């Protein structure tokens, strides 16, 4: 039953190709008649992980206290939206996924359109991605939605499975494929599914050995996709049909709230929590694998659980790539959370930032937003990750949000191995961040979605 790749395709006459994928002639004609542009602009932050590594060449403002340009909150209540991720297109328009809707904002903060969920019984807890004029998202009923980035109208809506779990996962797209986690088994998804990005046709499903949690797909090239399961085992599949290329690693009977991240160096970084239950603290493991072969390159024991996806990029003062990994046991009062940077090639520790302690029983915004979310028919509490996913800008600054409601900008300017004092910029949002809500980066712009309001920071040029 395990490792079953299911090719789901019907034999259709008159097959042609459209957007690099074989489709029926009638589908080609329908797509050609649609108003959706299939040009390939370069988006500033096309997914909740940017271009796929959690890093950007664009430079965002470092001084967060003086660069807030605008903020937005749902008129129905400060916590009535509960955002789960942001993306930014080539015009610096912002696409915010929230539990109840996908919203598009202009760079100046005008709400341009809202694509709302079909009913109060479903949520949009997976961060949407942008791909060739379309925003792709999945709702908790297992329906994948292709939404025109221009009009906010559905291009197609297709089923990927019988649902998707309640964790904060990522929707990803590459080479004519949309990749999602689906078919919940208790609390996590039992399958990874691929749909045709043009038509929504379900192309294949794959069942990993263990379920996937906070699912994130990365693409080493246009032929393959990598991800990890909840034990930290990494899988590389053929993007065309979902067959297994290789699998590696993992810690049996363990659990992690994190996800694997591919770096621009062809290395995939996976995380494991060295314990069997989410509530147990202790150490974790950050593992580096060759994305082509699956061979283990190095492993690093983290002093606390690495319960989020890392980012891979060049940090301030360094010419080589680094892996930035947030650690700590979330949603636990009096627990301190930290951020580490490691050399991406060797795993050698470069610096640490000692983050804040959770001073209350629930993360910032969870208790305060209980009535707003209940009124909107959303989950009453979010129980977010201890940190948002980290993001790295073109100056090598790390941006990350904490469960205490602080948004931080970090860089080890003196290279002493500790980020402190004037190397830290911060902004108090009074709301925590879910794991998918990495700060989005564009030229002169930083976009941060909390479990309540949205905050946009700009430089004078931004």
Instruction: Give the span between the Cα atoms of 174 and 47, in whole angstroms.
Output: 11
What is the per-residue pLDDT across 279-313, written as a single tens digit (0 to 9) for each? Answer: 778 899 999 999 999 999 999 999 999 999 999 99
Phi first, then psi: what are they for 372, rounded to 5°? -60, -45
Long-range contacts at 373-376 (CB < 8 A, ≥ 24 apart): 373/79, 373/80, 373/82, 373/99, 375/76, 375/77, 375/80, 376/76, 376/77, 376/80, 376/99, 376/100, 376/120
Count other Cβ atoms within 10 Å, centred on residue 66: 10
Q: Give yes or no for a contact between 79 and 431, defined as CB atoms under 8 angstroms apart.
A: yes
pLDDT tens digits, 179-233: 999 999 988 999 999 999 999 999 999 999 999 999 999 999 999 999 999 999 9
* pLDDT value of residue 125: 95
Is the CB of residue 313 less than 8 Å from the CB of residue 303? no
For 8-38, the pLDDT digits (tens) are 333 333 333 333 333 333 333 333 333 333 3
pLDDT attached to residue 462: 59
DSSP-derived secondary structure letter, 421: G
Helix (H) or strand (E) holding 378: none
Residue 339: what pLDDT?
98
Percent helix, strand and coil across the chain, each to the nearest 5: 5, 40, 55
Which pair of structure tokens corresponds to residue 436? 């998918």
For the four alpha carbons of 369, 375, 379 and 380, in that order, the dihedral sign comes to: positive
DSSP 418: B
d(CA 121, CA 267): 39
Q: Is residue 33 within a helix (H) or strand (E), and if so which, with residue range?
A: helix 25-33
In the chain (462 residues long), the average pLDDT of successive 10-residue segments reads 37 33 34 38 94 97 98 96 96 98 98 96 97 98 98 98 96 97 95 98 98 97 97 98 98 93 98 82 94 98 95 95 95 92 98 94 93 95 93 98 97 97 97 95 98 95 64
Helix (H) or strand (E) holding 408: strand 406-410
Token pair 């500790």: residue: 418
Would you say 315 and 322 are in contact if contact means Cβ atoms under 8 Å apart? Answer: yes
């Amino acid at each position: 039953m395990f490792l079953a790749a299911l090719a789901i395709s019907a034999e259709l006459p008159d097959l042609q190709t459209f957007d690099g994928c074989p489709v029926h002639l009638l589908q080609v004609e329908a797509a050609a008649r649609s108003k959706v542009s299939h040009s390939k602009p370069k988006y500033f932050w096309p997914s909740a992980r940017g271009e796929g590594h959690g890093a950007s060449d664009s430079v965002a403002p470092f001084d967060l206290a003086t660069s807030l340009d605008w903020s937005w909150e749902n008129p129905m209540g400060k916590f009535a939206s509960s955002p789960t991720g942001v993306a930014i297109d080539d015009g610096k328009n912002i696409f915010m996924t929230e539990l109840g809707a996908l919203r598009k904002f202009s760079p100046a903060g005008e709400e341009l359109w809202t694509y709302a969920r079909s009913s109060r019984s479903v949520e949009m807890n997976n961060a949407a991605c942008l791909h060739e004029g379309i925003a792709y998202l999945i709702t908790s009923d297992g329906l994948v939605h292709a939404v025109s980035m221009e009009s906010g109208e559905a291009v197609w809506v297709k089923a990927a499975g019988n649902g998707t779990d309640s964790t904060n996962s990522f929707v990803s797209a590459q080479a004519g494929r949309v990749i999602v986690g689906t078919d919940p088994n208790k609390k996590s998804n039992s399958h990874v599914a691929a749909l045709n990005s043009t038509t929504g046709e379900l192309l294949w499903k794959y069942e990993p050995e263990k379920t996937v949690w906070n699912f994130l797909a990365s693409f080493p090239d246009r032929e393959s996709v990598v991800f990890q399961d909840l034990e930290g085992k990494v899988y590389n599949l053929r993007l065309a049909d979902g067959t297994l290329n290789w699998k590696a690693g993992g810690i049996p009977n363990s659990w992690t709230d994190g996800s694997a991240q591919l770096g621009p160096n062809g290395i995939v970084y996976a995380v494991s929590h060295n314990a069997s239950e989410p509530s147990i603290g202790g150490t974790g493991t950050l593992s580096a694998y060759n994305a082509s072969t699956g061979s283990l390159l190095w492993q690093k024991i983290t002093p606390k659980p690495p319960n989020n996806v890392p980012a891979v990029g060049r940090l301030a003062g360094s010419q080589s790539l680094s892996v930035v990994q947030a650690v700590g046991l979330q949603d636990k009062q009096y627990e301190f959370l930290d951020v580490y940077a490691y050399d991406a090639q060797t795993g050698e520790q470069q610096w640490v930032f000692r983050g804040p302690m959770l001073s209350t029983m629930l993360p910032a915004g969870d208790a305060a937003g209980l009535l707003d979310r209940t009124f909107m028919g959303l989950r009453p509490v979010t129980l977010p990750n201890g940190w948002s996913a980290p993001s790295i800008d073109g100056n090598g600054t790390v941006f990350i949000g904490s469960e205490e409601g602080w948004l931080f900008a970090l860089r080890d300017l003196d290279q002493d191995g500790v980020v402190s004092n004037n190397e830290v910029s911060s902004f108090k949002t009074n709301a925590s961040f879910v794991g998918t809500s990495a700060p989005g980066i564009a030229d002169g712009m930083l976009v941060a979605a909390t479990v309540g309001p949205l905050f946009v920071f700009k430089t004078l040029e931004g």
